[in-house]
Structure 1
């Protein structure tokens, strides 16, 4: 794996250099902001997998439903891009009101994809007299995590390395404890490759009075449901996985197909590029994925991927995280909060 640290005066400048030097497949490992007298300075560590060092994946005995679904999504993505290259010239902005034109052009600068813009253009054309916000409201949905009546107590956090899964597991645990102190919470680390993250999770779990467990082999995965019987909420921090591995296949192999009913949550950051995001989502998403959690929103320079993934996956946004602190850094967003973030770069206040 090739790892390199980039520094600069803005995250936008650094991300452009990362894309230029390492390419669109580079993975963000960490992001740090340093305050100085002459202004802020940013430091981002990025990595690129060396294909020669990646061990060959085991050949599956049979094609699974998840593999078929992933292939179908990738094929649809390619087809969508081809269709949009034909339809874009037909998207005449002159047919929209001045305000609608401004919104569409702004979202394009934010990185919203052409098929999503075409969808919005069509919605504007269908409702020329509707308010802009009423048209936009149907394009993205929010499901506040802490007030949602989840059916299952097991919640798996899936996402790439550096997306903030470990911090989200702790932040969620502390927020639930704050709102319902009697809740019995188990925090589980299933990412044996990240030693620093494992120690961090264990340390703060024990300090906060949470039950901590590690899953490093098939036997421990098999006993997870039994050990969690006395708990009300179980949060599992999953590994980022190499660039060729699929989360459904990995979970099936580790648990021998004996997983309890779960809700999966994709943990993503708007710091990642569109190509990275598509790769992550296609590999990490499973049949039980219930929402997207967006992290490090205060460090991003644009938020177009939040709308892109809402339209592509159909998944609601359940949480936003802002700032470095473990407490009072989670936002349970409303639709309006998300649109303020997209259109005004207005960060919602963290309350949990």
Structure 2
């Protein structure tokens, strides 16, 4: 039994087939994938609400920390925009999950859904598809900016300025909304109670008149979301991450050669190490995005080629694809805390040290026999 929002992304029309017991699942009614889908559905509501609550709170914390005055930088501006997009992606999901999975059930056989709730779920789906695609392309932007900074250092100051970051984020937001427009016209809300021989009404989300009159239109949307909006950004992120890792390894070897010749290079090596930690943190964000997104992109691409695969496999895995997206949207706070000392220090000064006595991380430095403490500072933001 599949949810009506499986086009983070599935297909509402096939979802109706699944829940009504019609032809959508007839070819593999007892498949292991179908049984897994039914089994996981029983816990999906509780699991997804938990992840969303944590993700919304953690992204609010990300925004607060990243927007502090001393944290302002092009990279952190993009990370802030990413946190906003991730937070919006999860904002309406708990309401949908509580209604459709905990209070009711995502089908029309056991529960009659009202027109109002179905319009909300339709809005929810289109809204989070748009917000999540923004997050995907903002992550690509993050990888591009870091690649320019690390591998094209001569032009980094000009190409990766704060003004350029703001302009790029604005372009990503507008372009994402435009690219999602085709999806807005694929679905509509209709009472399918009579089709199920129900005495009562049951509103559901089905293919729109435009999609029914033009079968290739819905196929085009699947290709658009499966290949252009899912696989393409993952390929770009994987390529840029590989280049970044190679560049970091080469820089490490160069520093090792220099350290054997000049002892004073130690201070510069510390600075380079901080840059590398920043780069590795951002690579971690990108890699986690790829790991959670590429399976869905591949499945959607195969589904665009093979209609049977869509019915027999993809829509049974819609809830699992959803939870991967939600976990991806919630995990960045953990990555920042693990991999960025400046983020940890700022977070502690804002939320921990105000209520509990604590000391910022300090280094003890000796100069002419005198010891003094100096607050550790980062050479790069986050």
Q: Answer whether TM exceeds 0.5 for this pair.
A: no
Give the helix-richer structure, 1 or 2: 2
Q: If you compute each CA radius of gyration, which structure gives the higher value, 1 or 2?
A: 2
> Relative CO higher for 1 or 2, CA cutoff 8 Å, sep ≥ 6?
2
Q: Which TM-score band (shorter chain)?
A: under 0.3
